[in-house]
Chain A
């Protein structure tokens, strides 16, 4: 079974530039998550999709971050404009239908460096 695919693996941009990340979840997984992992911290949920609808985006900085999941499959996360504090690893995860006892399967992440 193919895992969660993310691209690019690494990205370096200057502050105030824009950047986009792509995620393709495991086939059949209705739920897709974007997590932000700042160095030395645990992952923090940015946004959760159930199919193509947003379930939770309470921690997404909506003035600069946006995400979409058209057709309920792959997803993109965009940052515009980027700030230095956005430097982090952005992890995409997906999970099959479940009610809390279902684990999330993670991609390898995109490491963003904002200079």
Chain B
């Protein structure tokens, strides 16, 4: 069965500092991986996705993630945090090859950005 683990339920950074949100996956087949962001009282919005093309994936709002098979990781980064980045971030793996294509989410990381 596929799963994702997000290390750190809360991360706090200063404005302008590097953002690093960690995600490790478990999958017996090549995974499709996603990062979603959720602002308060909103649904989830896709930041970026990895679909077995380039291992470095660029997303919206200056975020990017690198797929590292050897480390089974798909960490999300942003060089310089902005106050508007404060939100909850979810890593997800797709049930690739299954009939459902359902997304399996991690428990989320709440990002706080300090002025």
Which residues of A are interface residues toward B (Cβ below 8 A)?
4, 31, 33, 40-45, 48, 55-56, 91, 93, 95, 98-109, 111
Contact = CB atoms under 8 A, between A and B. Distances in A.
B64 interface: no
A103 B34 contact: yes
A41 B46 CA distance: 18
Chain B interface main SS type = loop
Contact of A106 (B9, B32, B43, B95): B43
Contacts of A55: 99-100
A103 B49 contact: yes
Interface stretch (B13-21, B66-74, B79-87, B105-113): B105-113
B: contact size bracket: 20 to 34
27 contacts: A31-B101, A33-B102, A40-B107, A42-B92, A42-B108, A43-B44, A43-B103, A48-B102, A56-B99, A56-B102, A93-B44, A95-B101, A100-B96, A101-B32, A101-B51, A101-B52, A101-B94, A102-B101, A103-B34, A103-B46, A103-B49, A104-B103, A105-B46, A106-B43, A107-B43, A108-B41, A109-B42
